[in-house]
Chain A
Amino acid sequence: MVSLKNWWPTPIRSLFLFLVWLLLNNSVAIIHLFFGLLLAWLIPLLIHKFRLIQPGIKKPGVALGYGLMVLGDIIVANLQVIRLVLGPNKKLRPAFVIVPLDLTDNLAITILASTVSLTPGTVSADVLPLDAEGAGQRFLLLHVLDLVDEAELIAQVKQRYEAPLKEIF
């Protein structure tokens, strides 16, 4: 007997695909509903053997709060960056900074790196070592537009962004 898990492997992904399809078409006409359901069923079925197992979100509430905090920080970071951009170039103190990570999971590190790129005057440049998931200490290399205090920046990244991510995953 074929179990439900075999012919409908990832229900949440299916729901997500269905919603994305409707949003792409910007319509809830019958034809789009029908085709969306078909794709939402067929695509996960075809690809689920190739996918990497990712950790689930353990605390959705914390994840939501994290998202909102990041949105707020994006606005603040932008105003800072604009002020720096409009000021004289000579005043900038660009720097490369290494942040030791407590996170070990690839997905969590990706989200941290993306957040850091979008927020506080920093762009994530590299994860070292790259291919050592779950094996020892890893580092995130950041480029900072205007570095005031290295220790403070590292502490900020770790407390503000890494700590909630550790809780979520």
Chain B
Amino acid sequence: MSIIEWLVAILVVAGSLFVLMGSVALVKLPDFYTRLHGPTKATTLGLGALVLASMAYFNFVKGELSLQQLLIALFLFITAPITAHMLIKAALHLKLNGAKQTSGKENAGL
């Protein structure tokens, strides 16, 4: 295997692991607010790594110029925090209760 193929393989595996961890966070964490941390961070980075792997594969292994993956990364990094923001705002609006050990609930009007 060439260095590029190793790089692509490592990026794909790392990206998948990050996405998996984001999903684990969604299932495992105690309340809505903590569960939001998974998809905003781990999943975003995981998809970023997969996008990089795709670019490396098409540009260097296949030898075609392919940069459209940059757009996926751009839109992802713009939209992920906004989605999270709207979700958490909706949760606060509904006064969804956080886990017992949450401190500073009065800051959020809970």
Chain B, residues 64-86, CB within 8 Å of chain A (1/0): the string is: 00111011000001101110110
Q: B1 contacts the other chain (Cβ, under 8 Å)?
A: no
Q: A75 contacts the other chain (Cβ, under 8 Å)?
A: yes
How far is it, in angstroms, between the C-alpha of A92 and the C-alpha of B88 when the chains are bound? 19
Q: A113 contacts the other chain (Cβ, under 8 Å)?
A: yes
Closest-by-CB residue of A relative to B58 is: A26
Contacts of A96 in B (CB 8 A): 98, 102-105, 107-108, 110
Interface residues on B, range: 35 or more
Query: From residue 57 to 102 of chain A, which have CB atoms closer than 8 A to chain B?
Result: 74-75, 77-78, 81-82, 85-86, 89-90, 92-98
| Nearest-Cβ distance from residue B86 to partner chain A, whole angstroms | 10
Q: B25 contacts the other chain (Cβ, under 8 Å)?
A: yes
Are B18 and A78 closer than 8 Å at their CB atoms?
Answer: yes
Number of A residues, CB within 8 Å of B: 38
Q: A137 contacts the other chain (Cβ, under 8 Å)?
A: no
Are A23 and B71 closer than 8 Å at their CB atoms?
Answer: yes
Query: Taking A78-B18, A95-B103 as contacts, is the C-beta distance between A118 and B41 under 8 angstroms?
Result: yes
| Nearest-Cβ distance from residue A152 to partner chain B, whole angstroms | 14
How far is it, in angstroms, between the C-alpha of A92 and the C-alpha of B34 when the chains are bound? 9
Instruction: Give the dominant DSSP class at B's interface.
Output: helix
Are B28 and A85 closer than 8 Å at their CB atoms?
Answer: yes
Contacts of B21 in A (CB 8 A): 81-82, 85-86
Stretch at the interface among A6-14, A44-52, A139-147: A139-147
Q: B36 contacts the other chain (Cβ, under 8 Å)?
A: yes
Question: Beyond A94-B33, A123-B37: 4 further Cβ-contacts under 8 Å?
Answer: A81-B37, A85-B38, A95-B104, A125-B88
B residues in contact (CB < 8 Å) with A: 18, 21, 24-25, 28-31, 33-34, 36-38, 40-42, 44-45, 48, 66-68, 70-71, 77-78, 80-82, 84-85, 88-89, 92, 98-99, 101-105, 107-108, 110
20 cross-chain CB contacts under 8 A: A23-B71, A25-B68, A82-B21, A85-B21, A85-B25, A89-B28, A92-B34, A94-B103, A95-B104, A96-B104, A98-B104, A114-B85, A117-B40, A118-B40, A123-B84, A125-B92, A126-B88, A141-B107, A141-B108, A147-B104
